[in-house]
Structure 1
Amino acid sequence: MKKLLIAAVVASLSATTLLAANDAFAQNGSTAAKKATAKKPAPKHRLIKRKPTKSVAKTDPVPEGSVLWSCNEGASFDLKGDMKRDQIVTVHWANKNYNLPREATTTGADRFHDAATGLDLVVIPTKAMLFSDHDGSRLADECKTAAMQQGEPAPTQSNALKSGS
């Protein structure tokens, strides 16, 4: 009988231990489930917005006081500065402003060239031409101001020297 009593006690302790273990496991599992649901969901979008890969081309305003030069094939550019005396002129071409420094020439033509951008403006008494050094193309040809279209020569240094002497 002692054996039967010992077996019953062991069985009851085993069952109690088993039930306690199941309850403990269920509580740990439910707290883990609560912890999982208590966490904030991962954001669907970035918090730091990046600029789009396609950038909108920057448009510079036409410089105030500039003169319009109309060219062949409907092209045109605006020029700000006095070609007779200024060492740097501003050319507004393709919605962008370019500061072009004067380059010395032996031909009498006025040349304004910026090596960084590759833009090259050459003005002779009858017309102006705009070139791109990067691909060697002529961007605009036969460019004239309204005064030049009326028969006046281009406002170049060489023309200023002729009229001043």
Structure 2
Amino acid sequence: MKHLVLAACIGAMTLTAGAALAQEPAKKPAATKKAPAKKSAKKATPVAEVPATPNGEKWQCELGHAIYISGDMRRDEVIVVNWEAKEYRLPRQATVTGADRYFDARSGLDLVVIPSKAMLFNKNLGQRLADECQNADMQAGGAAPTVAGALRAPVATPLLAAPAAAPAPAPQPEAQAQPATLQAAPKP
């Protein structure tokens, strides 16, 4: 009998608690609608303080994208890349291909620079973010300002230039006469 009374009391409490909880959510949405409006007004002010132009050299990419790179790619071990209004510090990685590669495992950003262009990847998402990125000098026909770009020979200089040769000694008269007679003789 005691168990029956106890079960009835628990059942009654559950019903009254359920009715009270059902009424509370109706009150909460009205309170939450006012709170986001106040927060959005507070968030709007810091956005205005962000500088309009990022630091670094602008590299124009395809599809209207642009990246800004701060640092000297020929000697710095860490460069700063500004992508979509966020700055990322990318350390240099060793490569066997001769390309310059800067990769940050935490953010997943991977910048690969070859003499003709740069490509930006997000390894965490498995996506190419930007391609065909070039600075103003590269768009004018120059090479990338990197170690790999410095290795590329200018177009005006031939890749295999012969060293300046010393003047050849004067030919001997006997050596010249003999080949001439061989050329004039008919072949059997």
The partner residue of 1:83 within 70, 73, 80 is 73
Q: Aligned residue for 2:88? A: 98
| In 2, Cα distance between equivalents of 1:89 and 1:123 | 12
Greater percentage in strand: 1
Q: Aligned residue for 1:29? A: none
Unmatched 5+ stretches in structure 1: 1-44
| In 1, Cα distance between equivalents of 2:100 and 2:57 | 16
**TM-score, scaled relative to structure 1:** 0.61
CA deviation vs aligned residue, 1:6-31 (integer Å, no higher than 9, x gap):
xxxxxxxxxxxxxxxxxxxxxxxxxx
Q: Aligned residue for 2:11? A: none
The change in CA–CA distance for 1:133 and 1:52 in structure 2 (over 3 A counts) is farther
Q: Aligned residue for 1:71? A: 61
- Tell me, yes or no, if structure 1 residue 142 matches structure 2 residue 132: yes
For 1:135, what is the secondary structure of its paired residue? coil
State the 1:160 CA deviation. 2.7
Unmatched 5+ stretches in structure 2: 1-30, 154-188
Query: How many residues of Structure 1 are paired with residues of Structure 2 in the alignment?
Result: 113
Percent of aligned pairs with the same amino acid: 48
- CA RMSD in angstroms comes to 2.7
Tell me which of the two structures has the higher relative contact order, counting C-alpha pairs closer than 8 angstroms and 6 or more residues apart.
Answer: 1
Deviation >2 Å, runs of 4+: 55-61, 158-163
The partner residue of 2:109 within 119, 122, 129 is 119
The change in CA–CA distance for 1:52 and 1:133 in structure 2 (over 3 A counts) is farther
Moved more, 83-92 or 153-162: 153-162
Greater percentage in helix: 2
**TM-score, scaled relative to structure 2:** 0.54
For 1:105, what is the secondary structure of its paired residue? coil
